[in-house]
Structure 1
Amino acid sequence: EAAAEALTCYAQAGGKLLVCYTVPEKLRAVLKVQPGRHVRETRPGFFASIRPRGGALAGAPAQVGQRSWNIQTVQPLPGAGSVLAEWFDNHGQATGHPAVVGSTNGLVFTHVLLGDDFTRKARFLLALVGYLAPELWEMAAKASLDRLGLAGSGRSFDQASATITQLATHRTQALDALAQARRLRDQARELASRRHFAQALDQAGRAQQRLLEAWCLAQPSLPGEFRAFWCHSAFGVQGLSWDEALGRLATNGFTAILPNMLWGGVAFYPSKVLPVSPEVAKRGDQIALCVAAAKKHGLQVHVWKVNWNLGHAAPREFVEHLRRTGRLQTSSRGKEELWLCPSHPDNRRLEIESMLEVARNYDVDGLHFDYIRYPDSDHCFCAGCRERFQQSTGIRLVNWPRDVLAEGPVQQAWLDWRRSHITAVVRAVAEQARALKPRLKISAAVFRNWPVDRDGVGQDWKLWCERGWLDFVCPMDYTRSHRQFENMVARQVEWAGRVPCYPGIGESASSSRLGPEGVIEQIQITRRYRTGGFVIFNYGVAEEAELVPLLGLGITASR
């Protein structure tokens, strides 16, 4: 009520409002709308895109993708407002429901803005606020021109141009693209000077894209590298078959895929060891489909398992069985964690057998550990851990868990014992999988700071490399800072020793978001340290459509 009252006063004083989804009753008169009804989608894809009515939203894209599941409609008061944009379904048919209703005081969007179709969504949002405050178009155009350059590598337009010219002495495509980027920038400046700000923004965007393509075309490729993507979805890239998704990787010079096919509590293939996702009955054996596509396109497949963590798709009855039998992890304060307790012998057996099952049944190139650790330093402190630690070490714990925590009298013995269970699984899988298939490669995605993480999360990956249990290791070096990335790689190649270290580049990790030029910068760092390869997180819709083709222009090109 108080917020609605404040916004009413703001609008009456000349302010403009952009309201999403629900319009409070007090604001309806201000926005000159009348309430409609709540509408749920009648099927998936019923609300799939937004299309402005002709000329109603200056500068807006002709169509903006948004997969909404419901809307809250409003209607303009007769003679006081109008419908500016409408909802369309995934077949391109109008739904008859308004998406944007406008009046002189503000706009109402009948859902909330989601993160899909990000580039066009950003322009759509600018068109909405530009409708309310036209002076923002000039500010946006000036900002776009000022930003021209390669943000991911910290280069301005002129700095990027100079570097491209140096790199591309014999690459005419790169030089041609650079010349076109300069022409487009000049045209954008001219349009802005004539106050055609929306068109200036369009040309600046084209100049930015062409500069990026010139940068990518100028990058040299290095034959013989291991070039891979992690793919977090067991079903590959949404909207594509495995054949289409892996064909795109191969065309652009990638050599391997690491698909996430099993967790601690679920498998996406017909497993006899783990519970099988119901999706397998509908969509098929995902390992078999992935391997068939990879063979066709000449890619390696290293099947990725999320160890210990049960995953959100683990069946409820399986989780309940683990809970009843004391096989789940617990924090030092007694809070349950839906991870398998590594000290429980049945859990170690389950982890090992699930990975060996993949090795036996599929023609894969390798097995890839992930989450091969504890969640953090505060796990596991279940009753079973206490009992098994005492039995194994002969140490009697008087004050549990205080005796094994920081400054406790037996903390180091506890850390060594705790760590040993993780190492035991790595060793068993490596030895037994190679006995089944001697050419199988064993690898692991690991935390980046081994000296800290061997105790913090029980992940002793330097030892695993020294003992030869890993054929390559992939530290997850997710950072936007190229200096930090380089510092991490420099240490990690030493810790890995003779074992290849393929750094993980976090293109779409929550902590990095690099963009194509940032990914290129970090690939260049891996080459300076002669790692022999890299792995990028994550192969999804945006990466398939945007990143992979740009990398394939130069730095991963098959030339």
Structure 2
Amino acid sequence: MSTSVLTPDAMWPRMGTLAGARRHLTAALLAAAGICLLGLLLRWYLSATLPVEPLAVDTTPRVAVVSGDYLGEGGESMAPVAKRHLDAVRKALEAVRIPYVLTSDSAIEERGCPDVDVIILPYNRAVSEVELGRLIEFIHGGGSVICCLVGRNDLLYAIGVKPGGVVKSEQLGIAGAEIVPAADAPPGMPPRVRQPAEYVMGCSPLGSGRTVAWWSGGGRQIAPAVIASDSGAFITCGLTPEHFPETGQLLRALIGAHAPGVWAQSIPSSPAMLGPYGPYATMADLAGTIRRKAAAGQDVGFAVESVAEVEMLLEQAGGMIRQERYTEALQAARRADQIGSRALWESFAHVEGEMRGVWMHNSAAPSWDEAAGRIARANLNAVFPYVCSGGIAYYASGVIPRHKSVAEHGDWLAEAAAACGKHGLRLHPRMLNMSTMGAPKETVTALGKAGRLVVNNKGEIGTWLCPTNSHNRQTQLEIARELVTRYDVAGVQFDYMRYPWKDVCFCSRCRAAFEQYTGARVSKWPQDAYSGALKAQFLEFRRYQLSTLVRDLAAGIKAVDPALEVSAAVFLNWEGHRDSFGQDWKTWVEQGWLDFVCPMDYTDDCETFRGYVRRQNGWVGGRVPIYAGIGVNADNCRFTDPYLMLRQVEIAREEGASGWVVFNYCPSFADDFLPVLSMGLTRKPTRYSLSPHMR
């Protein structure tokens, strides 16, 4: 068979012009690019469709941790110290997923060393002669020992350490220093390990020992922190539970140098090894939830992509472990973990047309403009700041006294309106109707002298406004009109539209009004009304006073502009609270006085929350939207993890709520909650709708 040699003339047709040559060259390049692209697509298809053999991981523990139960003569008082260091080592190993067996000084003395590759002595201050012999024998048999802070001299010599004395860290000048790896440190050593060491052993390398990590501070190496050899390692302090992930990485690097099998145990190479994420023990669990949501049509496309990326990185990590490229495998696994954390937040779907609100104070730190900007960038769409109580205004009111901050700072509501207008947020100023919260003592005293405050069944004057008082009712109406005529607002929300408790109000006006309401004289006031034969009628009378006030305020607001939205923040249990507090919000909804209602469903128990929303949805019956109130910073519950809030939003949706309002905006909410909301739950902007979304 002859071999053909192609000359340039044979390869290329003759071209009469330079333009012709360019055309043919372009065509050839495009063809070559197409072939390359086809090759890449084929490679992608094969990698996506052909099964990849997962890394086989032997989960047999290769590490033993020795509890220091031998404390020596007079050392009983050191038992808590020994336990603290033992617990720190266990916590650190668990943080990096290294399985281990737990043994003790006495067990090794009695039965010998466990069948492992590495033994760790967290704080073993009184190793016996028999135990020492067994540990030396373990080293001679190919095992390795890692000691912390203390150790028998013969054992330390075997590890490659010339021991000194145990001294306070200040004596070595390492108080506040960190453990920093040396240039030739084992693979996987973290860049720093924070250890608040109280005592440290001064020591130096011996024989084959070398310093693999230093106590470092102020940019200089102070003293050896870790000395290692082929026989093990010595950490010059007792390990503490603080900063345990860093401690775990340090131990993994030291163990991995002697027992390479722990890398496969420790570095995740499959979704079942990565996690936890929120309530999901592993990435496999989270991925299953994400795929079920996607199959159900939820908008979680970004989360699906993140899961695929995690799975690819973990597969790469497994390949790197096979090739003993442990540092690179760690980097791939850490990147997968970061993306997995993001996927948790992306797993919460965006829903179009829902209320995404936040309750706020009259002021916002550091300014209304910055706060509104952060809220808007997280794609929330409404804010509910309180702007007045029944006794004080945080804006330039012409109806009730102004809070002193208005003179010092300016009109808080005007600032809020400008910021919300700039950033596209719907503003609902909140009236704390019956409360006099924030009013100075002299104002409250004056209201009491004017007969405008509630009186309890013992004749004591309270601090809340009496809703029967005509002056109070007229003032409330004037405040509402002032808010909607002088400021650019979406509507007004009523809050504290209730009595403080069931023991009020028994003032003279309430007695006269109640007798007119029932058409009968009350012979024993307030006993008959509070706890006697007229109790049920009196509770009904209280509800009537508040309900008619809501009616009148809603009518006054709608008279200014029918498009203005009237809402109420209400207690969660209508059935019981209508008697305890006179708040009959189901009637307010049924009568059409509210455009939406926000029950304050404050709890950190998700199933309790579900029960609240389900009952409320039944009471409202689809007449208006329910926007569930979530108590991130409520008095009775403080959410430390954004997941709980996001899950409650999901539950509210499942139970038919049309949106949610969070209590309340503060720096921690802005810093810790808003960023993760916008990864999934509020990924896209939306304008809320007043049409109820029922199941």
Alignment TM-score > 0.5, same fold = yes
Q: How does 1:470-489 map to 2 (within 5 A)?
A: 470-489=594-613
How far off its partner does 1:143 sit?
12
Change (3 A) 1:269 1:102: farther
Change (3 A) 1:555 1:80: closer
Count of matched residue pairs: 432
Q: 1: distance between equivalents of 2:447 and 2:172?
A: 62
Q: 2: distance between equivalents of 1:137 and 1:180?
A: 32
Q: How does 1:348-427 map to 2 (within 5 A)?
A: 348-406=473-531, 408-427=532-551
Alignment partner of 1:512 out of 637, 643, 651: 637
Q: Does 1:136 align with 2:262?
A: no
Residues 477, 556 of structure 2: 8 Å contact kept: no
How far off its partner does 1:382 sit?
3.5
Residues 294, 300 of structure 1: 8 Å contact kept: yes
Q: 1: distance between equivalents of 2:527 and 2:275?
A: 57
Aligned to 1:294, what secondary structure does the other structure show?
helix
> 1:464: which partner in 2?
588
> 2:552: which partner in 1?
428
> 1:437: which partner in 2?
561
> 1:234: which partner in 2?
362
Q: 1: distance between equivalents of 2:198 and 2:242?
A: 19
> 1:149: which partner in 2?
276
> 1:256: which partner in 2?
382
Q: How does 1:63-462 map to 2 (within 5 A)?
A: 134-137=239-242, 149-151=276-278, 158-167=284-293, 173-174=302-303, 211-231=340-360, 233-236=361-364, 238-239=365-366, 241-311=367-437, 313-406=438-531, 408-462=532-586
> 2:215: which partner in 1?
none
Q: 1: distance between equivalents of 2:359 and 2:343?
A: 27
How far off its partner does 1:224 sit?
1.4
> 2:86: which partner in 1?
none
Q: Which amino acid aligns with 1:529?
A: E
Q: 2: distance between equivalents of 1:254 and 1:382?
A: 44
Change (3 A) 1:281 1:84: farther
> 2:226: which partner in 1?
none
Q: 2: distance between equivalents of 1:386 and 1:204?
A: 73
How far off its partner does 1:523 sit?
1.6
> 2:149: which partner in 1?
none
How far off its partner does 1:205 sit?
11
Change (3 A) 1:419 1:181: same
How far off its partner does 1:446 sit?
0.7
Q: 1: distance between equivalents of 2:477 and 2:238?
A: 62
Q: 2: distance between equivalents of 1:457 and 1:290?
A: 31
Q: 2: distance between equivalents of 1:466 and 1:172?
A: 40
Change (3 A) 1:181 1:391: same
Q: 2: distance between equivalents of 1:371 and 1:214?
A: 40
Q: 2: distance between equivalents of 1:242 and 1:400?
A: 50
Residues 149, 158 of structure 1: 8 Å contact kept: no
> 1:554: which partner in 2?
680
Residues 290, 300 of structure 2: 8 Å contact kept: no
The more displaced of 299-308 and 492-501 is: 492-501
Change (3 A) 1:491 1:82: same
Q: Which amino acid aligns with 2:241?
A: L
Residues 447, 453 of structure 2: 8 Å contact kept: yes
Q: Does 1:527 align with 2:653?
A: yes
Q: 1: distance between equivalents of 2:563 and 2:604?
A: 36
Q: 2: distance between equivalents of 1:481 and 1:402?
A: 39
The more displaced of 168-177 and 418-427 is: 168-177
Tell me the alpha carbon deviations over residues 340-371 of structure 1, each in whole angstroms, 9 at most, x when there is no partner: 12222212222222122111211211000011
Change (3 A) 1:375 1:171: closer
Change (3 A) 1:158 1:346: same
The more displaced of 278-287 and 391-400 is: 391-400
> 2:232: which partner in 1?
none
Aligned to 1:260, what secondary structure does the other structure show?
strand
Q: 1: distance between equivalents of 2:638 and 2:510?
A: 39
Residues 522, 528 of structure 2: 8 Å contact kept: yes
How far off its partner does 1:398 sit?
3.1
Residues 273, 354 of structure 1: 8 Å contact kept: yes
> 1:126: which partner in 2?
none
Aligned to 2:241, what secondary structure does the other structure show?
helix
Tell me the alpha carbon deviations over residues 105-146 of structure 1, each in whole angstroms, 9 at most, x when there is no partner: xxxxxxxxxxxxxxxxxxxxxxxxxxx984434978899999
Tell me the alpha carbon deviations over residues 36-78 of structure 1, each in whole angstroms, 9 at most, x when there is no partner: xxxxxxxxxxxxxxxxxxxxxxxxxxxxxxxxxxxxxxxxxx9
The more displaced of 507-516 and 492-501 is: 507-516
How far off its partner does 1:79 sit?
8.5
How far off its partner does 1:412 sit?
1.6
Residues 148, 204 of structure 1: 8 Å contact kept: no
The more displaced of 155-164 and 479-488 is: 155-164
How far off its partner does 1:453 sit?
1.6
Q: Which amino acid aligns with 1:278?
A: K
Change (3 A) 1:136 1:487: same
The more displaced of 422-431 and 337-346 is: 337-346
Q: 1: distance between equivalents of 2:619 and 2:521?
A: 35
CA RMSD of aligned residues (A): 4.0
Change (3 A) 1:80 1:103: farther
Change (3 A) 1:172 1:446: closer
Tell me the alpha carbon deviations over residues 255-279 of structure 1, each in whole angstroms, 9 at most, x when there is no partner: 1111111111111110011110111
Change (3 A) 1:212 1:427: farther
Residues 357, 381 of structure 2: 8 Å contact kept: yes
How far off its partner does 1:206 sit?
9.7
Aligned to 1:487, what secondary structure does the other structure show?
helix
Alignment partner of 1:493 out of 617, 621, 644: 617
Residues 287, 307 of structure 2: 8 Å contact kept: yes
Aligned to 2:429, what secondary structure does the other structure show?
strand
Change (3 A) 1:81 1:423: farther
Q: 1: distance between equivalents of 2:174 and 2:457?
A: 60
Tell me the alpha carbon deviations over residues 238-289 of structure 1, each in whole angstroms, 9 at most, x when there is no partner: 22x2222112222222111111111111111100111101111222211111
Extract unaligned runs of 5+ from structure 2: 1-75, 82-169, 178-195, 200-236, 250-265, 267-272, 318-329, 686-695
Residues 280, 286 of structure 2: 8 Å contact kept: no
Residues 212, 517 of structure 1: 8 Å contact kept: no
Residues 300, 349 of structure 2: 8 Å contact kept: no
Tell me the alpha carbon deviations over residues 300-332 of structure 1, each in whole angstroms, 9 at most, x when there is no partner: 111111111111x21232112112122222332
> 2:254: which partner in 1?
none
Residues 476, 503 of structure 1: 8 Å contact kept: yes
Change (3 A) 1:176 1:489: same
Q: TM-score, normalised by structure 2?
A: 0.55
How far off its partner does 1:449 sit?
1.4
Aligned to 1:419, what secondary structure does the other structure show?
helix
Residues 464, 470 of structure 1: 8 Å contact kept: yes
